[in-house]
Structure 1
Amino acid sequence: MTYEEALQKINSRLRFGIKPGLERIEALCKKLGDPQKKPRFVHVAGTNGKGTTCTLIASVLTAAGYRTGLYTSPYVLDFRERFRIDGEMIPEAELIEEVKRVSPVADELEAAGDTVTEFEFITALAFDWFAQRDCDFVVLEVGLGGRFDATNVIDTPEAAAIASISLDHTAILGDTYAKIAFEKAGIIKKDGDVVLYPVQDPSVFETIESACNERGAHLHIPDEKNMQVNGTALTGTALTWRGLPLTLPFTGAHQVHNAATALTVLDILREKHANITDEVLQKGFASAYIPARMEILSQKPLVLLDGGHNPGCASALHEVLKTHLSGCHITAIMGMMADKDSMRYLELTAPHFERIITVQPQNPRSLSAEALADEAKHFCKDVQFAQSMKDAIEKATVSGDEVLVICGSFFLASEIRDLAIEKYKA
């Protein structure tokens, strides 16, 4: 089996979509020897910020000398980004071996009438790889929701975290904060420790607190009095946490809240005797990296790439633009999915842009460049649509003190990132 054939085997399962319930993933894991019972887990749900929270926690655990697995989604550049140990993606050869190992088990279940979805397949694959590689900890990002998410097959983790909750995937998770919080609260387990991102709609606090009380879990809300912001820039944020200086390589007020959430999880792990020193915290924070989340691709001209796609992400981008780029001449390249709230996204971001070039990512769920351009014209006078990513890069050319912001979708980010780097490389 080649690497391309392995990917094809995984991707062919996309057509089966999302099916509620944990029965299939439980059966799949059981036939693989229950690999999800071997490592210690940190389980992270939420609408926005869970990727950052996971990355910070994993980076610190790696810096502490623990063999640390990290399972996240979506990927930006390479499918293997979803499976990492100590910051390194799964090697192609090992992914092939895992597909060979998991496929017959999935086929056996399907022969008995249980269709294994793509996410269930790769989640079982991840559990198996982390177990085979003897991970001490695995930081596990929920794919969608929480209650019926395939990652929720694990037992009570060392700690769980629920990041910022906003209105996304409302057709699946519900159309209110309380309904969405109920689904996220599905990861809360009996006698567990749960950290809740400190800035939420009041109904989120009520829902999560109620779930913790029902299950005898311990709720921890970060005390942001322990956090001081000493300086902010597009390149990152200088923090002090209980007197300890930290460099956070991400910008925006939301990232400070994400950092407080991650640090509170790490406090819990420390209380459970994880060897996390102050020096380890500093090293782990400083070395954290995520592509396509307020990522600077070029300094002059400034090119900023952000793959966030929902109103919460739009609000975060709005704050960064207002704080750091007010008064600048900004051109945007924007592409979005048709199932996202594009009008709300545009309402928050488009007024910052002098010019918008819309483009359609190569994804069946994507919004056409023309349709997005029509919507963008409500908020920006100069809007054009592009025929391709290359055309968008050319139409949106900036120089000198001008700024280019590429935003709206991780699918857009994955397609255009290398083209933008090539265009603006020093």
Structure 2
Amino acid sequence: MSNPDFLEFGSKLTNLEKTRNFNVFGDYSLDPFRNLVDSHGWRNRKKERLRISVVGTNGKGSVSHFLAGSFSNLGYKTGLYTSPHLFDPKERIRLSPNFDPITEEDLKEISNILFTDGNSEELSFLSWFEWFTLGSFVLFEKKDIAVQVYEAGLGGRLDATKLADSDVLVVCAIGEDHKAVLGNTKDAILKEKLGIVSERTKIVFALEPEPSLLKILKEFCSEKKLELYLYPSLPEGRSYLDHNQEYVKFIVHRLEEIISKNKIGIERTEKAITKPLPRPPGRLEIISNSPFVVFDPAHNPDAIRVTLASLQSAFPGKRFSILAGFLPDKEGESMAEKLLDYTKTQNSNLYFLDSKEFKLPEGYGPFSILPEKLSEILKPSDKEEGILVLGSFRLYSYIKISY
């Protein structure tokens, strides 16, 4: 009898990304997931690894992709686990050297490991995110992946990727998002994210935050006896992707020094190559040239501000209209205000997707557009202006399907 299909089994599990019912975190504990994983040895390291956890409110996806690509270029077998996906759940787990989404064969390998003992019932209490996180643990070990990069999903202290027991923590920009779960202040949010640290963690890299957060960060690292390396925060007028790539160069250079001193005994099994790092999918990604459509997943006030500020650097001289869609649990009104100010300055158009899935910001009825009308603003055009699509990862499929 064949093992259950990985994706089909996962589809029956509770998926908080779909339900948006984050109230469950009030009583949530990682212990059941930890006990299950440890009872089977599913997160055990077969040999020495470099496991990296990436946390933050904004930028952790691009930093994770750049980290994985950099270590792959250096000749290390590298695995990347990120969330959410843009189009296909298989995008969440990627392997060097090309970092394409894992294949159906990879999923079968995962299923063969997880269902060896016919333990479907034992696995059925997991959430969808825990299920995919577990899949990355077992596949990376099965494939003998030396460098494993795990992007946290939500927070850190209660995030399933905490069970990776990372050796290194990378902290990206901290902003206010998911406040009902993580706290109402940036101080509280940072503390939740730092909670991903385990006893194995020895090094922390961070974009230098504002003074109150920097104090928390330094005190935390001092208390836990962690080495802290700081990198300057994003300067005005620079593309966040360019800045995050430089941040990753800084991180990789320091880690290479540590590896060379045999403080981390991972194996370099491939030949080092020199090639540019590909842009992370869905980050200031050009979807179409006619009309000129750019997608970015910015979905909180800080990310909106940074993305708008990055446009001039990334696409010099280009004027953009905005198409946005906000999920109901987001601060749509404050983000809408920033977008309206931008389009007024640009003398361009503003649209908000209005559907069962996306919530129209209060007071922005005149700017609403129905999904079936998207083709009207996305039709081919030779105009010089572009359209920036942002507000949610889920918008990606709406736009991608149009092309």
Which structure 2 residues correspond to residues 47-58 of structure 1 after superposition, within 5 A?
Answer: 47-58=57-68
Q: How far, CA to CA, are the matches of 2:284 and 2:297 in structure 1?
A: 8
SS of alignment partner, residue 279 of structure 2: coil
From 267, 289, 297, the counterpart of 2:253: 267
Shift of 1:416: 1.8
From 107, 126, 129, the counterpart of 2:121: 107
From 360, 367, 383, the counterpart of 1:383: 367
Task: Give the equivalent residue in structure 2 for 1:34.
Answer: 42
Task: Give the equivalent residue in structure 1 for 2:142.
Answer: 132
Q: How far, CA to CA, are the matches of 1:298 and 1:2 in structure 2?
A: 42
From 147, 163, 172, the counterpart of 1:153: 163
Q: How far, CA to CA, are the matches of 1:166 and 1:404 in structure 2?
A: 25
Shift of 1:70: 0.1
Shift of 1:178: 0.6
Task: Confirm whether residue 318 of structure 1 aligns to residue 308 of structure 2.
Answer: yes
Task: Give the equivalent residue in structure 2 for 1:255.
Answer: 241
Task: Give the equivalent residue in structure 2 for 1:94.
Answer: 106
Task: Give the equivalent residue in structure 2 for 1:163.
Answer: 172
Which sits farther off after the overlay, 409-418 or 136-145?
409-418
Q: How far, CA to CA, are the matches of 2:213 and 2:392 in structure 1?
A: 26
Q: How far, CA to CA, are the matches of 1:126 and 1:51 in structure 2?
A: 16
Task: Give the equivalent residue in structure 2 for 1:245.
Answer: none
Q: How far, CA to CA, are the matches of 1:106 and 1:214 in structure 2?
A: 42
Q: How far, CA to CA, are the matches of 1:9 and 1:2 in structure 2?
A: 13
Q: TM-score when scaled to structure 2?
A: 0.83
Q: How far, CA to CA, are the matches of 1:101 and 1:176 in structure 2?
A: 42
SS of alignment partner, residue 51 of structure 2: strand
Give the 3 Å change call, closer, same or farther, for CA 6–34 of structure 1 in structure 2. closer
Give the 3 Å change call, closer, same or farther, for CA 333–228 of structure 1 in structure 2. closer
Counting matched residue pairs gives 375
Q: How far, CA to CA, are the matches of 1:29 and 1:321 in structure 2?
A: 43
Q: TM-score when scaled to structure 1?
A: 0.79
Which sits farther off after the overlay, 35-44 or 50-59?
35-44
Task: Give the equivalent residue in structure 2 for 1:237.
Answer: none
Q: How far, CA to CA, are the matches of 1:27 and 1:329 in structure 2?
A: 53
Shift of 1:3: 12
User: Where does structure 2 lack aligned partners over 5 or more consecutive residues?
Assistant: 261-266
Q: Give the AA of the match of 1:31.
A: S
Task: Give the equivalent residue in structure 1 for 2:353.
Answer: 359
Q: How far, CA to CA, are the matches of 1:147 and 1:91 in structure 2?
A: 31
Shift of 1:58: 0.4
SS of alignment partner, residue 89 of structure 1: coil
User: Where does structure 1 lack aligned partners over 5 or more consecutive residues?
Assistant: 233-251
8 Å CA contact retained: 1:357, 1:396: no
Q: How far, CA to CA, are the matches of 1:310 and 1:402 in structure 2?
A: 25
Which structure 2 residues correspond to residues 237-248 of structure 1 after superposition, within 5 A?
Answer: none
Deviations 1:261-292 (A, max 9, x none): 3223212321222699xx96962xx2323222
Give the 3 Å change call, closer, same or farther, for CA 375–69 of structure 1 in structure 2. farther
Which sits farther off after the overlay, 253-262 or 160-169?
253-262
The structure showing larger relative contact order (alpha-carbon pairs under 8 Å, at least 6 residues apart) is 2
Report % sequence identity: 26
Q: How far, CA to CA, are the matches of 2:286 and 2:4 in structure 1?
A: 30
Shift of 1:48: 0.5
Q: How far, CA to CA, are the matches of 1:323 and 1:267 in structure 2?
A: 26
Task: Give the equivalent residue in structure 2 for 1:178.
Answer: 187
Deviations 1:374-414 (A, max 9, x none): 5436xxxx6242143xx212245443213222221100112
Task: Confirm whether residue 222 of structure 1 aligns to residue 248 of structure 2.
Answer: no
Shift of 1:183: 0.6
Q: How far, CA to CA, are the matches of 1:64 and 1:76 in structure 2?
A: 27
Give the 3 Å change call, closer, same or farther, for CA 215–263 of structure 1 in structure 2. same
Give the 3 Å change call, closer, same or farther, for CA 9–387 of structure 1 in structure 2. same
Q: Give the AA of the match of 2:39.
A: K
Deviations 1:171-219 (A, max 9, x none): 0000001100101111234561100112x23222122211111111111
Q: How far, CA to CA, are the matches of 1:164 and 1:206 in structure 2?
A: 15
